[in-house]
Structure 1
């Protein structure tokens, strides 16, 4: 299973089209919010399953703020991250991920990419595909194969 993870696209159509070209081989896409309308654009244009949550710039209470997905035997906790103070560290997110028995925790919000493995859980922030606050605009890919998780970052 190959999963593309994108966040904080902020209605930047140019960046979204660049991401779309690079994720053709992915089996699914997870959008971590900011903006839900962008996730819906990916639903129309990607061709495979799209899962998404709302972020702090999304004002549609009908969309979930966080979800758990079970994929290839791995529990994935999916959130934008603003409810867990991720701009100041991932301690609150770690507590939630551990309480949920997650194998992977996906979050955005910071516009800074990160891949960490802490106490048996992968914490993956794809950065921002449109407005990075670190080296460059990015998204993440996660391969789950034979029970192993292999995440990496991709520059847009």
Structure 2
């Protein structure tokens, strides 16, 4: 199972079109962790399971979503409602309440991945306004058997780094 995760493009539509075109047929699902600043019905958001960020004003986006993807249960949110800039603990509690084992979130614009107490936390960073790096990033999660592979890419589709976790 492969899931592309992106967040915080802040109105930049073309980059979403490019990412979708580049990875169409390669990934099973597209997740947008909020602050697209685009209508949920826009062409760029078609194909994405998206959530509402603090800069999104379209009420059609849910605050969070939980998806069964293969044998994984994925929880996605923007992160502002769970104070992700200061701690993962409130998000961890929400993920546990949903019986999920993968948490995708944005908001901080800082790319990062962590495996904690059986939950894989993935922040794809920002594809428009990154923090703590110059690289505008998104992530692809490849879950195989008992391993998670998380690969980070820049806006041109060049692989930047990879992380592997065993459950």
Give the TM-score, by structure 1 length: 0.87
CA change 1:61–1:17 in 2 (3 A) is closer
Q: Does 1:146 align with 2:148?
A: no
Match of 2:11 in 1: 11
Structure 2: which 5+ runs fail to align?
156-167
Range moving further from structure 2, 113-122 or 142-151: 142-151
- How many correspondences in the alignment? 152
Gaps of 5+ in 1: none
Structure 1 pair 19–62 and aligned structure 2 pair: CA distance change class (3 A): closer
Q: Offset at 1:53?
A: 0.7
1:58 to 56, 59, 79: 56
Task: Name which of structure 1's ranges 103-112 and 12-21 shifts more when overlaid on structure 2.
Answer: 12-21
Match of 2:98 in 1: 100
Structure 2 residue matching 1:54: 3-state secondary structure: coil
CA distance in 2, matches of 1:103, 1:130: 28
State the partner residue of 2:30: 29
Which residue in the other structure is 1:124 paired with? 122
Which structure has the highest helix share of the two? 1
User: 2: CA distance between counterparts of 1:98 and 1:32?
Assistant: 18
Deviation at residue 94 of structure 1 after TM alignment: 1.1
Following TM superposition, by how much is the alpha carbon of 1:99 offset from its aligned partner in structure 2, in angstroms? 2.1
**RMSD of the TM alignment (CA)?**
1.9
Under a length normalisation based on structure 2, what TM-score does the superposition of the two structures give? 0.82
Larger relative contact order, structure 1 or 2 (CA cutoff 8 Å, min sep 6): 1
Asked whether the 8 Å contact 1:36–1:52 carries over to 2, the reply is: no
